[in-house]
Structure 1
């Protein structure tokens, strides 16, 4: 069902934890299946210099969080915003169709963390330019989980 890479990131997730003084925090969740993710970023010169996550969910949710943080670490904010659910799933060697929502959550949490950082920095014009001004904790689009 899962690729070896998914199982590796599930068994040995990278970047697990909390950054207490994070520059940006993004939280998403799907109450239908119980997957909840928070991504924390530390930014210097518009580059993600540290990134951590906390995820409560299935193997795919944990693996996609781990992979998303690995893909984003060291990237500029604009480069990190190009990380999509497809990027995450492909980096893991694919996901079963019913688990693709997990990679969507990871990419969404990363976007929210970046949006939170830009908002805290007062970079509202940039938020709008990047299309992140509409993101808010309450507006997360829930996807139906097929277990």
Structure 2
């Protein structure tokens, strides 16, 4: 699991210390032309400023920022998403699944292209409007369905995608969208081919063979 890191920002204190150092430098630089009494007064003022800054730093600790971090696989699929694009949804070899999550506004379209001779998914693509977890889940789903038979992709579960991406509980709905999109794409393809969407894969194959 990716552990969050703590970034500490002390911009204001660093700037104040820089100003104090600048003042000391200026005092040293002009010390030849300044009377001893003035030099002493300026050095005393600089010392008091430094003490005040140290006291303020102790009383006001630096701000700690805990940014949300995604697992490296999510970052990878978000920055370099696989198989982004679209197929012609009217193509009889293409199945299109369009699903959405009203709660968060994520919308996912996943498409599969099937070899009619072998029944194997030869290509897949997606377009997703949503968060990084939704995009990563879509990207992983398209990678996992390629090269598989229709009945195989129906066994892909959202829990497997979530585990692969180390999604937190609040992002599990993103992996569920991916599973639903796969099922919807298969159902759309089967509807185009006249296959009973409610039948088992084995029954669908037998029905197709009987019609041949």
With the shorter chain as reference, the TM-score category is 0.7 to 0.9
Equivalent-residue separation in structure 2 for 1:100 and 1:9 (angstroms): 16
Per-residue deviation at 1:31? 2.2
Q: Provide structure 2 residue ranges, at least 5 long, that are not aligned to the other structure.
A: 1-68, 202-212
Provide structure 1 residue ranges, at least 5 long, that are not aligned to the other structure. Answer: 132-147
The match for 2:181 is 109
The separation in 2 between residues aligned to 1:43 and 1:97, in whole angstroms, is 33
C-alpha displacement at 1:32, in angstroms?
2.3
Q: Which of structures 1 and 2 has the bigger CA Rg?
A: 2
Q: Over aligned residues, Cα RMSD in angstroms?
A: 1.4
Match of residue 34, structure 1, among 99, 105, 112: 105
- 1:1-147 aligned within 5 A: 1-20=69-88, 21=91, 23-44=94-115, 45-92=118-165, 94-124=166-196, 127-130=197-200
Shift of 1:49: 0.5
1:2–1:96 CA contact under 8 A, matched in 2: no
Equivalent residues, number: 128
**Alignment TM-score, normalising by the size of structure 1:** 0.83
Moved over 6 A (4+): none
- The TM-score with structure 2 as length reference comes to 0.58
Query: Which of the two has greater helix per residue?
Result: 2
Aligned mates of 1:96, 1:19 — CA distance in 2: 32
Q: CA deviation at 1:23?
A: 1.5
